[in-house]
Structure 1
Amino acid sequence: MATKTPKDAKAKKIACAKRAAPANSKLPEMVGSGEMAKFLDITPRRLGQLVSEGVLRKEGRGKFPLTFNVKAFIDFKVQGEVSKLAPNSADKLAQRREQALVRKMAREDRELITIDEAMEALEDVTGEFLTSMSTLPAQITRDLDERRRIEKICDGERSRLVGSFLKTTKALQQGSGASEAKSEDDAG
């Protein structure tokens, strides 16, 4: 029994290809359904589905315009691949729901707070701090001249801090961080 060599198999394929499509032959304008399905590498049933969906065109009884349908099939396949890559509205909705869930979980874990909560906390701390500074001169000395001197120093610091706190508040409300407001203070 003789074994086939790779050369024999290759020669057989070339011979089959030559019989199927001679070099000087033109492609037929119309083909039957079996040939069309074979040419597109799909089943006859799928061919019928594509005709029903309006992707492919059939002219007459079982006759298909070859070049038109090949182009239409390629366009159909390309459009299918492009639509797979582009996010659709359902994907965008799912993504937004996921983002909302992540934010909700972060709030529940106290990793995230609203701007209103942050502003309220900043106002409370600022008010407490400035009030505390007002009581310092009386706590430091009973000497009225010395107390006035300390009050003057504290008033200057209080004014500076109020300006800094206002810049920080404004930065937070605009969506920039408190560190950005601080760097503006350092630069100015």
Structure 2
Amino acid sequence: MPAEPSELVGTSTLEDAGLERPGSPRSRHGATLAACAAYLDLTRQRVAALANDGNLPRKDDGTFDLDECRVAYIRFLRQAASRRVANGDSGAQLREARAREIELRVAKEIGELIPLEDVTMVMQEIVSTFCAELNGLPTACTRDLDLRNMIENQVSSAIDRCRTRLEEAARLRFMC
């Protein structure tokens, strides 16, 4: 006869708990909730919850077949593990996202991070001023029209190359 639940506390083997080994002739009667909990090393509440969710099979009389419960519990654990792997560790992803958010907020507060629009506006002003200065160089350097045209062509080509490179860098940077 299986042990009473209060007698199961502190037991270390099935025999100590008054249980038969699975597969033995006497174990076919079905085990109580407490016996199944002791066998699976779970609380009675957890076994009841697993049984109510359909993860542990009960016999018609409400008892448990320990062999079936062992196999069902192993399947349940494997499925739970595979779901965690398939979903990725969303808890870790959430923690990483929160940490990144905090890092960005702190960087912005101490002035290490500025809005992209501000940077873009300042860069446009600087590049426009630089191009205007470069375009004024040929006139400032010589009165010789042929030499001035040659310098203007070289400056214009250099500005076009820089503009192309900047546009390419912006496209690659912001399309990722």
* TM-score scaled by length of structure 1: 0.58
Aligned partner letter, 1:151 = R
Change beyond 3 A, Cα 1:173–1:81: same
Match of 1:180 in 2: none
Structure 1 outlier segments of 4+, above 6 Å:
none
Once structures 1 and 2 are overlaid, which stretch shifts more, 150-159 or 114-123? 114-123
Say what the alpha-carbon RMSD is for the aligned residues: 3.7
Contact 1:51 1:57 (8 Å CA) reproduced? yes
Matches of 2:26 and 2:63, distance apart in 1: 14
- Which residues of structure 1 form unaligned runs of 5+? 1-12, 178-188
CA distances 1:163-186 after superposition (whole Å, capped 9, x unpaired): 223223312321349xxxxxxxxx
TM-superposed deviation, 1:113: 4.4
TM-superposed deviation, 1:124: 1.8
Matched length: 154
TM-superposed deviation, 1:101: 4.0
Matches of 1:110 and 1:175, distance apart in 2: 26
Match of 1:124 in 2: 125
- Aligned residue among 146, 154, 157 for 2:154: 157
Matches of 1:108 and 1:170, distance apart in 2: 30
- Aligned residue among 165, 169, 172 for 2:169: 172
Matches of 2:154 and 2:100, distance apart in 1: 43
Change beyond 3 A, Cα 1:104–1:159: farther
Matches of 1:138 and 1:109, distance apart in 2: 45
In the TM superposition, 1:56-135 aligns within 5 A as 56-83=56-83, 86-88=88-90, 92-93=93-94, 95-135=96-136
Name the SS for the 2:54 alignment partner.
Answer: coil
TM-superposed deviation, 1:59: 1.6
Name the SS for the 1:163 alignment partner.
Answer: helix
Name the SS for the 1:175 alignment partner.
Answer: helix
Name the SS for the 2:64 alignment partner.
Answer: strand
**Structure with max Cα Rg:** 1
| Paired-residue identity, % | 19
* TM-score scaled by length of structure 2: 0.61
